[in-house]
Amino acid sequence: MTAEGRGCGCAPLVLCDSGDMPVIPKHRAMGFLSCALASSFWGCGFFFGKIALAEMSFAHMVLYRFLFAMIVLLPLLVTHRPGLNGKEWGTLALASFLGVPVQFLIQFYGLSLTTVSHAALMVGTMPVILAVGATLFAHERLDATGWFALAGSTAGAALIALGRHARGAGQPSLTGDLLVVLSLAIALFWILLNKRLMDRHSPIVVTAYGLLLGTLMLLLWVPLRYGMPPMAHVSMKAWLALAASGVLCTATTTLLWNWGMTQVPASEAGVLLNMEPLMGSLLGVFVLGEHLGPTAWMGGCLIFVAAITLTTRSKAHVPEHQPAG
């Protein structure tokens, strides 16, 4: 398992040019913090996306989001050589295809067909999807406490989603809901494939080159299928929202999440994904002036209790992998 050098009181670790890294002690608390921050920033994506979607299609919004993300990641492409072999490039390309154009285009199309509350409820199922997937495909073992925390966290996300739009505006659709769930199932394989690559290569290499491949795929597909993205009549407010969604909600979050995944089991980190609907609800209350009912407050408490329980009491095990010499 690999990890980046970090400023947590331990000696810094220097990456070799290929991106391969030696086995090092894991930093569980920092890993959970990194995943929690990533999930919280992802929760801002709905807020920024809502601003941008008022002026362009979902596909063009996704394309601009990743173009802005690459502005931040380009320097990392210069300073970090990939060092991947042919098979690993194939794995990275598959992960990028699933995690960028397929996942995001399906998810945002689904969001356009259903209500925000239903979409948030569907996102709340991701920790369970990830925990089950990590158990089945990554051979991780989650104990009873971990499963209890996952159930409580998902219940909290459901309470938030159902409580935040009690006055609802618009009708949900089964098609939209199912598309969001489908995108989450696709995201599972993106996460697990990236985690496999990070057994041998740094999170920076996997993140930067993975998002580069995904962005290139978007550049080929979106203009061909949906036409050229708008530019002339896009407001400054929308541009700022797009920049924030790319820099904060894509580049920063993926770096944080991928590093965190080298420190903790995927099955445990998954519970922290429910910070996303929680953050969306807080933005609705304090920025958009929405009313948050008692069930939503209860949901927020459940999420935090589940996160604390999981990070302090669960004894999930993730197998170690030795990097190739």
pLDDT tens-digit profile of 154-197?
787 777 666 544 444 445 566 777 788 789 889 989 988 998 99
What is the percent of the chain with per-residue pLDDT over 90, rounded to a whole number?
Answer: 35
Whether pLDDT at 300 is above 80: no
Whether pLDDT at 76 is above 80: yes
Mean pLDDT for the stretch of residues 256-278: 79
Identify the pLDDT of residue 239: 98
Q: Is the residue at 320 inside a domain? A: no
Q: Where are the alpha helices (DSSP H) in the chain?
A: 28-53, 58-79, 86-97, 103-113, 116-123, 126-137, 144-164, 174-197, 203-226, 236-246, 253-261, 266-269, 275-286, 294-313
Identify the pLDDT of residue 315: 59
Q: pLDDT tier at 324 (50, 70, 90 boundaries)?
A: very low
Q: Is the residue at 186 inside a domain? A: yes
For residue 227, the Cα-to-chain-centroid distance in whole angstroms is 27
Whether pLDDT at 36 is above 50: yes
Question: What are the φ/ψ torsions at residue 158 (nearest 5 degrees)?
Answer: -65, -40
Per-residue pLDDT tens digits for 205-247? 999 999 999 999 999 999 999 999 999 999 999 999 999 999 9
Beta bridge partners of 141: 317
CA distance 2 to 309: 26
Two tokens, residue 224: 């061909």
Check residues 31 and 170 and name the one with the higher pLDDT: 31
Q: Is the residue at 324 inside a domain? A: no
CA distance 119 to 106: 12
The number of folded domains in the chain is: 1
Identify the pLDDT of residue 211: 96
Whether pLDDT at 17 is above 80: no
Whether pLDDT at 99 is above 80: yes
Domain span holding position 69: 35-313
- 173-187, 259-273, 285-299: which has the highest mean pLDDT? 173-187
Q: Is the residue at 8 inside a domain? A: no
Q: Is the residue at 103 inside a domain? A: yes
Q: Is the residue at 171 inside a domain? A: yes
Rounded to a whole number, what is the largest CA-CA distance in the chain?
A: 59
- pTM (2 d.p.): 0.75
Q: Is the residue at 26 inside a domain? A: no
Q: Is the residue at 21 inside a domain? A: no
Check residues 56 and 163 and name the one with the higher pLDDT: 56
CA distance 251 to 143: 32
Degrees, nearest 5: CA angle 297-264-204: 105
With CA atoms as reference, report the closest residue to 160 among 121, 111, 125, 107: 121
Identify the pLDDT of residue 163: 58
Query: What is the pLDDT of the chain when averaged over all its residues?
Result: 79
Mean pLDDT for the stretch of residues 105-110: 89
Question: What are the φ/ψ torsions at residue 186 (nearest 5 degrees)?
Answer: -65, -40
240-249, 255-264, 309-318 — which is least confidently predicted? 309-318
Whether pLDDT at 79 is above 80: yes
